[in-house]
Structure 1
């Protein structure tokens, strides 16, 4: 880890920064607080539906914006500026969450939707900067390094936040509810503070000095060209389809796992501890997957992760105890960061470096477009069948279809096609 340059550390620390939101807010406290405090008067199925809808609508907005903004960012050389803009917005919306009163579930869902827009909107620009801090042969290791720091940073703050909720009196707080509110503030501060190194030390290729209107028009033209390129860059297109399908299932698990456990009657303290386990197991596991990508190729590493995830979903259908949830948390922690990091590094090999903002805008679009459907399909299936367990069949279909499209990706052919379009 110490061999990484200052720019690599600064870039990777943004994963450390934004993972506080992904872990404490998105996966941890918000689903619990939403169901048990803000939406306490709603039936479980309805609160699950509204949580899924907030996740899906935020993703839908990013779907609409990401490719165009990525093209504009390439034109201006403004990937970092767009990242900082979305981050600032997400930080502010997160900081407002503590002021929402009990029963005000609609306002809580709105702030969560807006904060998630800030979080999700920043990720495509963050991913696109990887081509400026390392060479292609370093993509697997650097991408894994970012995810490992994310798991560590998100896990450390989450552990502190859980401690506050378990022993609020130790921190001079009235109760666990006040501790959760304070946790949202700590996330906003953490996210803002650890974004600073990226803003200071990560450099990108300068863009063209053109007006916003001209940049937008150029972005639309470049976007249309990218669609045409994707017809020729068949391997890139196949990978995007594969990624769209399997990351939908992964994101749905991340966003809905706590809600699923609560619906099965598990204690929220047990669910939060399981999330902590996932975070800290993910730190070394993500680094190991970076090595796996270098040894056997990122595509084969992704296959391993998908096979494990499929087994976890089958397991979850018959889960009964908190011990089952803990065991699944360990298993997911072993592969989650690896799947994400190898997907990013494999995709970086299949795109033109000078259009990284635009192509990673597509990458972000595909993941968020997937997240439009996953949480809603799980929520709707649960409502229609009356069973949260039956809704997991959706995830099996997504993992299987993603693996099939991944089998169509010839990485070397994809790299040769890229060299013919640069």
Structure 2
């Protein structure tokens, strides 16, 4: 069936661009609920007990379920051959089940996202693909409400599906950035999108944490509070995705095969050509490597912050939860602040300055005293200031150094490279803990990522990279 041709001439006036930009911002507001509520807070701690319930029913049927759950670790230590759940024929410990599902989800993203990006560029139907992936992810997230009892496999499958749809939609969402903004507008638009995402994700998380912490006074069981919270993330995602779908517009693409199968085949052929042609853009590759290194440091610090608070500082869950909320809301202002700073001193200098601050933060982690909540909040505040801005401005820079018409392909490479490199930071922390048994030293080890990333970014000639990609060099970069 032929693909309908986009409008011959698209209104690209400042007013038309602003209308699309305002719609584009709201997809960050919509999908951030999945990351904050599902990945960051609720699903892992909820899914592991569900898997333990299944293991108790399978391996310890003569023990009362509540007794088994309360003494599960002691039972496994006494009977090391028991206490597993079945995952496609493999025996998996319940504690490892969420990590396994996350690993599978990341692997599938690495396989699928390049094809998604190439297909989006090949067909030009980005708005339809964005909506399709968003609603698959939102519906899978809402269906997490039905994960209870021993339905661990249902939870794993739904999370993998939702996470894959989330990653695919973000690739397409990011690829709109260079199409809806001029080179001079890019930093502002990217920073506002990232900031609004933190605000949206933080707002829903705050509402869900009120439900969770006050569930007894509200007459709601703890498990039900978690299930309602997870369903709300999917509902939030679905409702607010309507706004970008009404505002964003597809762009014309060159004439090509139009059947679905031919489009898929064409997308893979185009992806192969893109990978082969990347040697024509060595400075783009250098920036990508720099970003992957320093962003790995950023993600690893964030991913280990809760463990650092509990293990090194001996702070309780309440402190950790309130710190997460504070980071969400402060990061909103931080992303806008760094976007404003970039307009004054340049995007590259702003990102380099943020990496200096990241380095100072991990050094300061050595000196935060045990039990000192205020010191931990101050460190979290500093992280929040640079967190959104570092990522938003990096996205803006990347959009400048990729060729037009290939946005989704290149953003898919950014996403999968990000996922594929993420294990390096985690491995570094693991080695540091193994050698020193100190979370302070483990966090300090991230300094190498910020230093190397700083050096590589400083060596990247961005104006030349932008010209090599065939783009206009903005007045300040």
Distance 1:233 1:253 in 2: 31
Equivalent position to 2:258, from 207, 210, 218: 210
Distance 2:129 2:168 in 1: 9
How many residues are paired up?
417
Distance 1:406 1:251 in 2: 18
Give CA deviations for 1:174-206 in whole Å, capped at 9, x if unaligned: 244332221111111001111111112100213
| TM-aligned CA deviation for residue 21 of structure 1 | 1.3
Task: Please state if 1:280 is matched with 2:326.
Answer: no
| TM-aligned CA deviation for residue 255 of structure 1 | 3.7
Please name the residue that 2:30 is paired with. 17
| TM-aligned CA deviation for residue 333 of structure 1 | 0.9
In structure 2, relative to structure 1, the CA distance for the partners of 1:68 and 1:37 (3 Å cut) is: closer
- Asked whether the equivalents of residues 144 and 158 of structure 2 are also in contact (C-alpha less than 8 Å), the reply is yes
Please name the residue that 1:177 is paired with. 223
Distance 2:337 2:98 in 1: 34
Please name the residue that 2:193 is paired with. 146
Task: Please state if 1:395 is matched with 2:446.
Answer: yes
- Asked whether the equivalents of residues 378 and 391 of structure 1 are also in contact (C-alpha less than 8 Å), the reply is yes
| TM-aligned CA deviation for residue 87 of structure 1 | 1.9
Equivalent position to 1:161, from 193, 196, 208: 208
Equivalent position to 2:121, from 60, 74, 77: 74
Please name the residue that 1:221 is paired with. 269
Moved more, 212-221 or 389-398: 389-398
Task: Please state if 1:97 is matched with 2:144.
Answer: yes
| TM-aligned CA deviation for residue 218 of structure 1 | 2.1
TM-score, normalised via structure 2 length? 0.79
Task: Please state if 1:117 is matched with 2:164.
Answer: yes
- Asked whether the equivalents of residues 49 and 94 of structure 2 are also in contact (C-alpha less than 8 Å), the reply is no
Moved more, 119-128 or 223-232: 223-232
- Asked whether the equivalents of residues 401 and 471 of structure 2 are also in contact (C-alpha less than 8 Å), the reply is no
Please name the residue that 2:378 is paired with. 327
Distance 1:92 1:349 in 2: 34
Equivalent position to 1:350, from 385, 401, 408: 401
In structure 2, relative to structure 1, the CA distance for the partners of 1:96 and 1:351 (3 Å cut) is: same
**What is the RMSD of the two structures over their aligned residues, measured on CA atoms?**
3.0
Give CA deviations for 1:2-41 in whole Å, capped at 9, x if unaligned: 9982211110000001111121222223344456776675
Residue segments in structure 1 that go unaligned for 5+ positions in a row:
none
Please name the residue that 2:82 is paired with. none
Task: Please state if 1:413 is matched with 2:469.
Answer: no
- Asked whether the equivalents of residues 331 and 387 of structure 2 are also in contact (C-alpha less than 8 Å), the reply is yes
- Asked whether the equivalents of residues 132 and 203 of structure 1 are also in contact (C-alpha less than 8 Å), the reply is no
In structure 2, relative to structure 1, the CA distance for the partners of 1:227 and 1:359 (3 Å cut) is: same
| TM-aligned CA deviation for residue 72 of structure 1 | 1.4
Aligned residue for 1:204, secondary structure, equals coil
Distance 1:51 1:385 in 2: 27
| TM-aligned CA deviation for residue 60 of structure 1 | 2.6
Distance 1:106 1:316 in 2: 38
Give CA deviations for 1:49-98 in whole Å, capped at 9, x if unaligned: 65555444322322222222211110100223332232223223322333
Distance 2:439 2:406 in 1: 42
| TM-aligned CA deviation for residue 164 of structure 1 | 1.1
Please name the residue that 1:127 is paired with. 174
Residue segments in structure 2 that go unaligned for 5+ positions in a row:
1-14, 53-68, 75-92, 473-477
Please name the residue that 2:289 is paired with. 241
Please name the residue that 2:39 is paired with. 26
| TM-aligned CA deviation for residue 210 of structure 1 | 1.4
Aligned residue for 2:315, secondary structure, equals coil
Distance 2:428 2:162 in 1: 22
- In proportion to residue count, which structure has more helix? 1
Please name the residue that 1:7 is paired with. 20
TM-score, normalised via structure 1 length? 0.88
Aligned residue for 1:354, secondary structure, equals coil
Aligned residue for 1:203, secondary structure, equals coil
- Asked whether the equivalents of residues 13 and 197 of structure 1 are also in contact (C-alpha less than 8 Å), the reply is yes
Structure showing greater relative contact order (alpha-carbon pairs closer than 8 Å, 6 or more residues apart): 1
Which structure has the larger Rg over C-alpha atoms? 2
Please name the residue that 2:62 is paired with. none
In structure 2, relative to structure 1, the CA distance for the partners of 1:420 and 1:289 (3 Å cut) is: closer
Distance 1:388 1:107 in 2: 34
Distance 1:42 1:218 in 2: 52
Please name the residue that 2:58 is paired with. none
- Asked whether the equivalents of residues 35 and 47 of structure 1 are also in contact (C-alpha less than 8 Å), the reply is yes
Please name the residue that 1:305 is paired with. 354
Equivalent position to 1:87, from 116, 131, 134: 134
Aligned residue for 1:266, secondary structure, equals coil
Distance 1:390 1:33 in 2: 30
In structure 2, relative to structure 1, the CA distance for the partners of 1:246 and 1:50 (3 Å cut) is: farther
| TM-aligned CA deviation for residue 116 of structure 1 | 2.2
